[in-house]
Amino acid sequence: MTSSLALTCETLTLHLRHTFTISRGSEDVAETVLLRLRADGVDALGESAPISRYDEDALQVTQMLQRLMLGGRDLFCFDDVLDLLPAGAFGARCALDLALHDLAGKRLGIPLYRLLGLDPARAAETSFTIGIADPQKTIEKTKEARHLPILKVKIGAGNDVETIEAIRSVYGGRVRLDANEAWTPEVAVSTLKALARFDIEFCEQPIAAGQPEGLRFVKERSPIPIFVDEDSKSLADLARLYGCVDGINIKLVKCGGIREAVRMIHAARALDMKIMIGCMIESSVLATAAAHLTPLVDYADIDGPLLITDDPFVGVRYDGARMRLPDAPGLGVVPRPPT
Ligand code: MG
């Protein structure tokens, strides 16, 4: 049981290195919610990067967290505590779930990967995201990232073949695509057929979410494997995707945190789906939590901290694309020392 307890939220305004454009729009700054939970003298951190695609924002997540009454609760009973929030409040649940895991790890004196029974040597390599731009800018950004082995390229702006051709003119590494729901099933098939010659690992979310039969149509005709992201929000979405996709992208803030992500990973394995774990524009708090789960997955796309200029925290470290998990207790995230 917990005797002394304090919960506070603050908004983090994170600035992007490059304007970040996907098929739905552009952004230069992103707002996330940092949760600080102090229980019996132990300080824990959580973070949420609310997703406008799912009608969530920083204010709403903050208000939900601030209304929580945690006094007298056993904070090791993760599910009971998380269920104080509505089942559909994925963004708020994510911040709380991370703070509970951070707190538990710190109380036990072990890093999160150990709390989860995972081998840090199996942490995945992350891809690095290239947003939508004109071919000249795309070539510049690709050259900046040329030392990295895996790129995830945002497409769906109409010049997709030209974009990938530009990238392939300067880059020989692994390339994944993300269309962010841009195409109809027919356009997806014809575009993916045209892109197959560029040696593409897979394409994420080719069509608007909510059409499993459309995905099946694309998967059966596409020479490039099909993953979903907007369609694989939480555990409840997976059964209907069975046979319609080759893999799913799991994000902690989309599904409600570490606990739900682990459930999704095991369900996806049972449904014969490949698994990627991804991120939003977010600080090292949320990205490090996701990195701790990568020993369980096939692919990682956890480049949030690499895309911003003012990450207030240090956690997972990047050795090129290889992620090094922190060994400190809990998430292992600390404030960035002043430079
Ligand atoms: Mg995506």
Ligand 1 centroid, distance to 225 Cα (angstroms)? 14
What digits encode the pLDDT tens for the residues 166-205? 999 999 999 999 999 999 999 999 999 999 999 999 999 9
Ligand 1 centroid, distance to 4 Cα (angstroms)? 40
pLDDT at residue 24 in the model: 83
Ligand 1 centroid, distance to 251 Cα (angstroms)? 9
Ligand 1 centroid, distance to 133 Cα (angstroms)? 17
- CA distance linking residue 158 with residue 134, whole number of Å: 11
pLDDT at residue 5 in the model: 94
Is pTM beyond 0.85? Reply is: yes
Q: Where are the beta strands (DSSP E) in the chain?
A: 5-22, 25-39, 42-48, 128-130, 150-154, 174-178, 200-204, 226-228, 247-251, 274-278, 299-301, 313-314, 317-319, 322-324, 334-335
DSSP code of 156? -
In the chain the domains, ranked by start, together with CATH numbers, are 5-109 (3.30.390.10), 115-335 (3.20.20.120)
- CA distance linking residue 80 with residue 100, whole number of Å: 11
Ligand 1 centroid, distance to 7 Cα (angstroms)? 31
Positions of the chain with pLDDT under 70: 1-3
Ligand 1 centroid, distance to 107 Cα (angstroms)? 35
